[in-house]
Amino acid sequence: MSRKLKLTIEPISGTHNYFVVKVSNQIVLHGEAKKMEYEANLPDSPTIIYASSLGVGTGAKYKLTIDLPGTTEDHSNTYLLKKGYHEITYTI
């Protein structure tokens, strides 16, 4: 059996140069820091999601949304760059 995944990453404020998002260690989104979306079917086993943003300075914000339709395991968080960088890893 599988479950649906929808990821969205987008800049909120400040200067972001580059986004990278990996699912199960495979790059699924990368490039210029603009709103990007990805959809896939995932196995029911635990899946690692990694996201990072490279930007300028401290204080730039971006939002990462992890949507698993039909479940209550959704995440939507805003993150702040420190010294021009931020990364986060989730296991879903």
The predicted-structure confidence for 67-90, as pLDDT tens digits, reads as follows 988 877 788 999 999 999 999 999
In order of start, what are the domains of the chain with their CATH numbers?
Answer: 2-91 (2.60.60)
Which residues, in sequence order, are CB contacts of 5 under 8 Å at separation 6+? 23, 38, 39, 40, 41, 42, 47, 66, 67, 68, 92
Using CA atoms of 24, 27, 32, 33 in order, give the dihedral in degrees to the nearest 10.
0
The predicted-structure confidence for 9-19, as pLDDT tens digits, reads as follows 999 999 989 99
pTM of the model: 0.89
